[in-house]
Amino acid sequence: MARIEVKTQLGNDVVSREHGERMRTLLEQALEKSESVVVDFAGMQITSVSFFDESFGTLAKRYGDDLLVKIKLEEIDPFDLALVRDIVASRARAAKKTRLGKQSAR
């Protein structure tokens, strides 16, 4: 199982969409090599919609709700966990709606 340590690999001030892109790249690389990934948020409180949307939200468009089955979140702050779940659910829902719309248009 691949492992990403956020504080070590992305630094202390993880807030921006650019940080989210770096996180997404790390996740994509890890998911290519392994069925599941552990992301360790120890010592972090991120509270950034941009960061989580760019990383987890973008991947949720591809993987849907299964994303959080493939990715285990460890030591994550409760607020951040609620934020990630909300963003993943919202992006997965929107992606599903888009797919269904395209199918019905055919």
Partner 1 sequence: MGGYLQDAGFYESIGLGDQFRPRQPKRERVDLVHIRTLEPFFVDGLLDFLETAQPFAPGLKPSMRMSLLELVQNFAEHSNSTSGAWAAGQKYRNRITLCLLDLGKGIPNSLRSVDRYRRYGDPHLIELASEEGVSVATGRGRGLSIIRRFVRINGGTMTIISGRGRVRFRPDRRPIGDQIDGTFPGTAVFLSLIPTQRGLFVLGDEENSGTH
Helix ranges restricted to H, the chain: 6-10, 17-33, 49-52, 58-63, 67-70, 78-105
Q: Assess contact for 52 and 82: CB atoms under 8 A.
A: no
Q: Which of 1, 15, 69, 100 binds partner 1 (CB under 8 A)?
A: 15
Residue 70 in contact with partner 1, rule: CB under 8 A:
no
Query: Tokens for 24?
Result: 């997404």
Segment near partner 1 (CB under 8 A), from 1-9, 15-23, 25-33, 66-74?
Answer: 15-23
Q: Which residues bind partner 1 (CB under 8 A)?
A: 13, 15-17, 45, 47-50, 53, 57, 77, 79, 82-83, 85-87, 89-90, 94
